[in-house]
Amino acid sequence: MKEQYPFSEIETKWQAYWETNGLFKTDTASADDKYYCLMMFPYPSGTLHVGHGRNYIIGDAVARYKKMRGLRVLTPMGWDAFGLPAENAAIKTGTPPRESTLNNIAIMKQQLQAWGCCYDWDREVTSCMPDYYKWTQWLFLKLYKRGLAYKKEAAVNWDPVDQTVLANEQVLPDGTAERSGAKVEKKMLSQWFFKITDYAQRLLDDLAKLDGWPERVKSMQENWIGRSEGARVQFKLIPRPDGRADDETLVPCFTTRVDTIYGCTYMVLAPEYPQLDQLVDGLPEAEDVRAFVQRAGHLSAIERTTEGDKNGVFTGRHVENPYTGEQIPLWVGDYVLMEYGTGAVMAVPAHDTRDWAFARKYDLPIRLSIQNPEQSLQLDRMEEAYTEDGIVVDSAHFSGLPNREAIPQMAAYAEAQGFGGPVIQYRLRDWLISRQRYWGAPIPMIYCDACGMVPVPESDLPVLLPENVEFKPSGESPLKRCASFIETTCPKCGKPARRESDTMDTFVDSSWYFFRYLSARDDEQAIDSVQCNNWLPVDQYIGGIEHAILHLMYARFFTKAIHDMGLISFEEPFAQLFTQGMITKRSDMDGQLYKMSKSKGNVVSPEALIQQYGADTVRLYTLFIGPPEKEAEWNDAGVEGAYRFLRRIWRRVFEHRDLLREAAELTPNLDGMEPPERDLYRKLHESIQRITRDLEGDFHFNTAIAQIMELMNAVDDLAISADSSPSARAVFRETMESVVLLISPFAPHIAEELWQELGHPPSILQTPWPTVNEAALYRDEIEMVLQVNGKVRGRIMVGAEADQALIESEALANPQVQKWIEGRTVRKVIVVPGRLVNLAVS
């Protein structure tokens, strides 16, 4: 007898059943009723913990629910398999990255299966395999041809621990590396970039179309793109005092406050300003300037960017303000960034806090050009810069304008006069994709002494990673030392040439994998346009909030670029995005809450839990823990509760197994129902309604599961037995069957088993989701709350058809209410049908 709930046995059984019967294999040739349910593919780090599990469990529950709703669901899975950890491990242990990665994949695949998560494994992609990275390289070449991949010498982020450069997105605000935690250094290196800045405006504009994305993510991307409207103004360089000529005679700057330009009293260049050295060369100030630049260069990004102290020196040069014709001094200052704007700033100390601090420190002149609405600003009484709006003053013919109106007029003036004009500036920088590491997709370029930089011909792809390399902690990519890889011939002239030794950032691999799932085994082309146009954008994308900027921005960029190549007809990859919250757990070491990590000693691994309670319990608890978009604290005691509930359902089915089977031909009939079964029947249909709404909306599994629990409590209120009426037995049967169906997306193994036990053929996945019987929701008597001045004072039962007047008179006659209105005047009676009566008394 199976009253013990043998979870291990049934879980193995059903996992095998789903797999053998291909229940998650989806034919994508047709787009009818399609539902592309995508979970972010994992990096194969070794093992998954219950925090990772949340992602896959949510996705699996969604997929199962949609399938029962009759949709054809595509849920593929793959591996973001290139990456530094495997290479670092190789240096330590000698195990080649390929081997350790494939091992980890095997382990993690098993873990996903043990959770009961089902995928169409025929579509599995592994980004470190040549059949995948061949196409990553192909896409690189396509981008190169469109001018979207280029190489340039630039000050880049260097991670001294991982010995590679990083993209801006991979450096945390405190100046440390996102992955290794190392203090990032600046280095001048020649590197490969993707020109994502060409797409800045489209990436920003299209955010507005993403209704199915969380506000939070959209706002993060908006911040990251950082559009700001302003003006470009070219200041003229005053000729050198010694009469020597300058290479450049103009110093352009960007400002969002061109309205303050008549208050500009000096100009400041970034220490990295390219012409700086040449500007001061031979002048008495040159030595001081060079010393200053050197000092600034030694400071880390963090020291440079801590607000507060601003340092600078005078260059000995002057520039002319094109609006006033006035000559103002040119300084170098460490608060000016070369990466933003033009690396030159017009300083208006009266109306900018940074310029104010700098002018005060170096005793530079301050001039008012915006007056506040009260006309009360007086320069000698000002303690700080006035940065608010106001009226333009002392600014030639612009004086008297409200400053917001002055901005476009003054920018237009610059354009008319030919010394500038309105411009839009973005914070977003181009995406640095070169990595000086082995374990990534090689950049398919060749350097020839005669022909220069030559792309690898498409027919020669993939550029394979060599296997015979040594991993040494030398800080140099093994590819650089691998002669058989580096040495090649020029595709153009056939002479000896060298291969590029940099590999691509792994975010390149993950920027297009969701296209590849549609044609994972296709060795003719990267992307199957027809299938992609049919099945994309992804209907539901599920993943962690940590990818809000990096992965999700890059994938959007790729989609737009691939669209522009004419390969796909859509421009946004993910219609709906769901970002689940992290699972945290208190650390035994310091009692603080952290996301699960080995170093904090707070990792909960699923194996022991699955062994003790079963996968369904772990799934149910993970979904019940709280709203899935929020962070949640793992609590072992809660797992016990989920287990108790599943066991209770199991027991109810087996206690009444014969009764349930025999009632198979009985159908609930509203006409003959006695109150107890009528109540349960209503509760059942209310539950179907609520649960369906929860799943169609924000995936609030926690409330859906709570509703099933309530329904089970109601089931126990109906004392069912073999002697019960056919009507009661019919309702009981429909209710228990529905419970099994309703819980199946969350706890699929037990549901399949019980479904079969109830006399149905498998699989529950091919059974339609229960539908609401509207008639069952009807009540002929409704309880109404009676309020006096908004406070509950009693309650009455009224007929469903009772009219306002009847309800009103019954409410007034109620003894509880009488107590509170006695001797007072009822000024107003509000009747909310079906809910309450509120009496406003004086």
CB atoms within 10 A of CB 468: 9
The CA distances from residue 280 to 131, 285, 353, in Å, are: 55, 7, 28
Q: Given the complex with RNA, which of 138 and 624 has the nearer CB atom?
A: 624
Residue whose token pair is 């990595």: 435
The CA distances from residue 191 to 175, 301, 447, 463, in Å, are: 20, 20, 14, 19
Q: How far is the CB of 37 from RNA (least distance, A)?
A: 22
User: Identity (one letter) of the amino acid at 795?
Assistant: R
User: By three-state DSSP, how is residue 840 classified?
Assistant: strand
Instruction: Determine the distance from the C-alpha atom of residue 644 to the mean position of all C-alpha atoms in its chain, rounded to a whole number.
Output: 35
Q: What angle do CA 213, 215, 220 make, to 5 degrees?
A: 100
Q: How far is the CB of 621 from RNA (least distance, A)?
A: 8
Q: Given the complex with RNA, which of 89 and 336 has the nearer CB atom?
A: 336
The CA distances from residue 579 to 214, 605, 706, 826, in Å, are: 8, 22, 22, 52
Q: Given the complex with RNA, which of 354 and 563 has the nearer CB atom?
A: 354
The partner residues of 540 in beta bridges, in order of sequence, read 37
Q: Given the complex with RNA, which of 97 and 581 has the nearer CB atom?
A: 581
* Tokens describing residue 261: 């330009």
Q: Given the complex with RNA, which of 101 and 369 has the nearer CB atom?
A: 369
Largest CA distance in the chain: 113
Q: Given the complex with RNA, which of 211 and 523 has the nearer CB atom?
A: 211
Q: How far is the CB of 585 from RNA (least distance, A)?
A: 12
Q: Given the complex with RNA, which of 128 and 233 has the nearer CB atom?
A: 233
Q: How far is the CB of 786 from RNA (least distance, A)?
A: 9
Q: How far is the CB of 581 from RNA (least distance, A)?
A: 8
Q: Given the complex with RNA, which of 560 and 793 has the nearer CB atom?
A: 793
Q: Given the complex with RNA, which of 174 and 326 has the nearer CB atom?
A: 174
Q: Given the complex with RNA, which of 305 and 587 has the nearer CB atom?
A: 305
Q: How far is the CB of 135 from RNA (least distance, A)?
A: 30
Q: How far is the CB of 408 from RNA (least distance, A)?
A: 15
If we measure between CA atoms, which residue out of 279, 268, 263 comes closest to residue 324?
A: 263
The CA distances from residue 627 to 582, 621, 624, 633, in Å, are: 11, 12, 8, 12
Q: How far is the CB of 517 from RNA (least distance, A)?
A: 29
Q: How far is the CB of 192 from RNA (least distance, A)?
A: 22
Q: Given the complex with RNA, which of 108 and 357 has the nearer CB atom?
A: 357
Q: How far is the CB of 416 from RNA (least distance, A)?
A: 20
Helix, strand, coil content of the chain in percent (nearest 5): 45, 20, 35
Q: How far is the CB of 726 from RNA (least distance, A)?
A: 24
Q: What angle do CA 599, 601, 602 make, to 5 degrees?
A: 120
Phi, psi of 69 (to 5 degrees): -80, 5
DSSP code per residue over 302-326: HHHHSSS---EEEEEEEEE-TTT--
If we measure between CA atoms, which residue out of 438, 514, 434 comes closest to residue 98?
A: 438
User: By three-state DSSP, how is residue 378 classified?
Assistant: coil
What gap in Å lies between CA 648 and CA 537, rounded to an integer?
41
The partner residues of 157 in beta bridges, in order of sequence, read 166, 186
Residues found in the chain? 842
Q: How far is the CB of 348 from RNA (least distance, A)?
A: 7
Q: Given the complex with RNA, which of 320 and 710 has the nearer CB atom?
A: 710
